Amino acid sequence: MARQPLNDLAAFAAVARVRSFTAAAAELGVSPSALSHAMRGLEARLGVRLLARSTRSVAPTDAGDALLERLRPALAQIDEGVAALSDWRDAPAGIVRLTTFHWIASTLLVERLPAFLARHPDITVEVNVDDGLRDIVAAGFDAGIRLGESVAKDMIAVRVGPPLRTVVVATPDYWLAHSRPEHPSDLRRHRCIGYRNLSSGTLMPWDFEKEGKEIRQQVTGPLVCNSADLALAATRAGHGVGWHMERDVRDDVEAGRLEQGLDDWCQPYPGAFLYHPSRRQVPPPLRALINFLKV
């Protein structure tokens, strides 16, 4: 059998990964109709159906899944080989595909990424903001940035931020009207601002630790959302107790607009880590980003 064009195989891998001709076409810089035509040509040459199509979706068939499993490591090696050519240039060049969650994007990346882009004009950083945990290998990302406890053990992790602390706060008027909690379980009788993780559908528990004892406390209250900004606005307005990153409420606490509770139960924890798969050779653009962000 004649060797299949590498571009068609790479295009198939993109369609199978994102499960959309439109999204894959945008990623590859071609039209959806041209991509669909190329995939039908590939299937005809191979003599097997690789993609199951409907009016609203596309997904790999069993044969397509089998081919994709073989293609992923081969295409990854090709990408690494091409990226390694940057070592022969005066400066690294290429694309870094990164996934992280909203809080990191709006703090660490907002504060530090512009300076990296200015220093490395030949590197493009593509950032996907998603509060759900992603399999970065299956999703085609080079790296992710998450809190330390969320990073899989088989990943290479590099610290890119200081230790963090989440604190319990409310307005002085709220604490005056409701007795201040002495134990995390006391939060069950308070109006708390909750956070729901959309990827898992679960209501996030509030984590506490004191003298080696850990407690995950479920809370209820007048608002459940997946926006840190909206949750903080509700807390500032006196609608209940909030659980927020300390740096986000530091000015409010110092000005007396908010007051902390359960302070001795709110311990620091490892901060943000950039993580990536274990490889023999890290692509130069990713290595440049790691060296810039690491602390």
Name the range with the highest mean pLDDT among 3-12, 56-65, 96-105, 200-209: 96-105
Q: Is the domain of 11 the same as that of 73?
A: yes
More confident residue, 281 or 62: 62
- Give the model's pLDDT for residue 197: 78
Q: Is the domain of 240 the same as that of 228?
A: yes
Residue 177 lies in a domain: yes
Tens digit of pLDDT for each residue in 70-115? 888 888 777 767 666 655 556 788 999 999 999 999 999 999 999 9
Q: Is the domain of 180 the same as that of 131?
A: no
More confident residue, 199 or 204: 204
Q: Which token pair is 227? A: 């926006």
Angle at 110 between CA 165 and CA 243, to 5 degrees: 25
Question: Which of 58, 84, 110 is the last residue in one of the domains?
Answer: 84
**Mean pLDDT within 7-19:** 88
Q: Is the domain of 259 the same as that of 276?
A: no
Q: Which token pair is 10? A: 């790479």
Binned at pLDDT 50, 70 and 90, residue 2 comes out as very low
**Mean pLDDT within 222-230:** 93
Residue 1 lies in a domain: no
Binned at pLDDT 50, 70 and 90, residue 1 comes out as very low
Q: Which token pair is 93? A: 């060049």
Q: Is the domain of 74 the same as that of 118?
A: no
Tens digit of pLDDT for each residue in 17-41? 888 888 888 878 888 888 989 999 9
Q: Is the pLDDT of residue 3 over 60?
A: no
Q: Is the domain of 212 the same as that of 146?
A: no
d(CA 123, CA 290): 13
Residue 220 lies in a domain: yes
| CATH code of residue 207 | 3.40.190.10
Query: How many angstroms separate the Cα of 169 from the Cα of each of 43, 134, 160, 177, 204?
Result: 59, 31, 27, 14, 17
Binned at pLDDT 50, 70 and 90, residue 5 comes out as confident
Q: Is the domain of 73 the same as that of 217?
A: no
- Give the model's pLDDT for residue 280: 61
Q: Is the domain of 154 the same as that of 276?
A: yes
Of all residues in the chain, the percent with pLDDT exceeding 90 is 60
The count of domains in the chain is 3
- Tell me 105's DSSP state: I
Residue 188 lies in a domain: yes
Burial of 56 from C-beta contacts in 10 A (0-12 / 13-18 / 19+): exposed
Q: Is the domain of 289 the same as that of 158?
A: yes
d(CA 159, CA 162): 8
The closest alpha carbon to 250, from 259, 240, 241, 238, belongs to 259
pTM: 0.69
**What is the domain range of residue 278?**
89-163+271-293
